[in-house]
């Protein structure tokens, strides 16, 4: 039975997920822990997702939905959080699914340790081949201080920025005015704030979440806008560390992540030009990405008012051609 004020609020942003949505929501219905509500945010879907959402909401009293114009995953999560009533918040991407004990195990961890966040390992599931891989690099099971957990999160090796393999105290968001950014990689930009304000983080190596990897994921469809947002997310982290006067504590970890981000960015730029069979401005794009990332790594970096503005942007091959054509 779900109490009048549910213990857990699960927020599910949905955009054109008809192929996977029913399976995702069934995994929620089948949770062993039953005191929860589900807030499904239809983010302007144009497929049959709204019909699937209405079917579940009519069948289950604890399922609710919001309709909004397409605004992106970050703003969809924010919309769900505004009406969430639970003491704890969790997130599910509409093409993924949960292990049956996801709520039960994370709730037990967070309450027994009086933590602000509980964190689980996850599987990467490749539906085309039916392959399920357990992520081997999760931090050891235990209770971590905010400082130690944030350090691991910034490295993005043993703890990761994803919002969905965690359970959070709702007050973590409400008392610290935390919202997701309106951008791609909004989780990378936002999650360090949650770990900073959390007093402790409880971690288990037990995989309780299934991340479905397919050809329409954000990473698989990296275009110029997503590349720029990926670089911005790095700048937002640096800006936040400067705001809190803790950059020096995490400098080597941040720089390690930034070097990895630079390599990934180079690869994505190369891929973008290869997809268009047009290498106009590729060296300029490499240079612009390097300047921005190097600035975020620099000891001369100063906190800015708007971290969503990049010093230099990666541009499409077409934009680079036109700029060269009309340059005087």
Check whether residue 229 and residue 195 sit in a common domain: no
CATH number of the structural domain spanning residue 156: 3.90.550.10
Check whether residue 263 and residue 136 sit in a common domain: no
pLDDT > 90 fraction of the chain, expressed in percent and rounded: 84
Integer CA distances (angstroms), 233 to 140, 157, 170, 184, 213, in order = 27, 17, 23, 9, 22
Check whether residue 183 and residue 74 sit in a common domain: yes
Residue 219 belongs to some domain of the structure:
no
Per-residue pLDDT of 12-71, as tens digits, reads 999 999 999 999 999 999 999 999 999 999 999 999 999 999 999 999 999 999 999 999
Can you tell me whether residue 130 is helix, strand or coil?
A: coil
Per-residue pLDDT of 267-306, as tens digits, reads 999 999 999 899 989 999 999 999 999 999 999 999 998 8
Integer CA distances (angstroms), 185 to 143, 201, 221, 231, in order = 27, 22, 13, 9
Distance (Å, whole) CA 19 – CA 47: 10
Check whether residue 60 and residue 109 sit in a common domain: yes
Q: What is the pTM of this model?
A: 0.93
Give 222's pLDDT tier (boundaries 50, 70, 90): confident
User: In what helix (H) or strand (E) does residue 110 lie, and over which residues does it extend?
Assistant: helix 102-112
Distance (Å, whole) CA 38 – CA 74: 17
Domain total of the chain? 2
Check whether residue 50 and residue 185 sit in a common domain: yes
Distance (Å, whole) CA 56 – CA 64: 9
Instruction: Please give the residue that has the higher pLDDT: either 322 or 223.
Output: 223
User: DSSP readout, 150-199?
Assistant: HHHHHHTSSS---STTEEEEHHHHHTTT----SSTTHHHHHHHHHHHH-S
Q: Cβ(63)–Cβ(38) under 8 Å? A: yes
Structural domain range at position 264: 224-326
Residue 2 belongs to some domain of the structure:
no
Q: For residue 19, report the phi and psi dihedrals to the nearest 5 degrees.
A: -70, -30
Last residue within a domain, chosen from 155, 188, 212: 212
Neighbouring CB atoms inside 10 A of 44's CB total: 17
């Amino acid at each position: 039975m779900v109490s009048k004020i549910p213990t857990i609020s699960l927020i599910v942003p949905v955009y054109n997920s008809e192929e996977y949505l029913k399976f995702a929501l069934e995994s929620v219905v089948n949770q062993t822990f039953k005191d929860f509500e589900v807030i499904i945010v239809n983010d302007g879907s144009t497929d049959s997702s709204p019909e699937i959402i209405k079917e579940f909401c009519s069948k289950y009293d604890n399922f609710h939905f919001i309709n909004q114009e397409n605004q992106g995953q970050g703003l969809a999560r924010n919309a769900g959080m505004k009406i969430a009533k639970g003491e704890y918040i969790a997130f599910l991407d509409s093409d993924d699914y949960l292990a049956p004990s996801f709520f039960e195990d994370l709730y037990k961890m967070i309450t027994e340790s009086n933590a602000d966040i509980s964190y689980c390992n996850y599987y990467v599931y490749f539906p085309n081949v039916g392959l399920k891989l357990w992520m081997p690099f999760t931090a050891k099971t235990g209770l971590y201080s905010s400082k130690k957990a944030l350090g691991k999160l910034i490295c993005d090796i043993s703890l990761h920025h994803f919002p969905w393999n965690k359970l959070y105290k709702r007050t973590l968001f409400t008392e610290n005015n935390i919202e997701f950014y309106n951008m791609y990689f909004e989780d990378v930009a936002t999650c360090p704030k949650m770990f900073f304000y959390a007093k402790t983080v409880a971690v288990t190596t037990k995989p309780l979440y299934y991340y479905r990897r397919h050809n329409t994921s954000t990473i698989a469809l990296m275009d110029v806008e997503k590349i720029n947002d990926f670089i911005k997310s790095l700048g937002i982290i640096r800006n936040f560390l400067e705001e809190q006067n803790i950059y020096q504590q995490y400098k080597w970890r941040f720089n390690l992540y930034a070097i990895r981000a630079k390599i990934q960015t180079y690869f994505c730029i190369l891929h973008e030009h290869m997809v268009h069979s047009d290498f106009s401005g590729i060296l300029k794009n490499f240079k612009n990405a390097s300047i921005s990332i190097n600035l975020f790594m620099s000891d001369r970096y100063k906190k800015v008012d708007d971290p969503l503005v990049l010093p230099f942007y990666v541009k499409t091959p077409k934009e680079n051609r036109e700029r060269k054509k009309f340059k005087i």
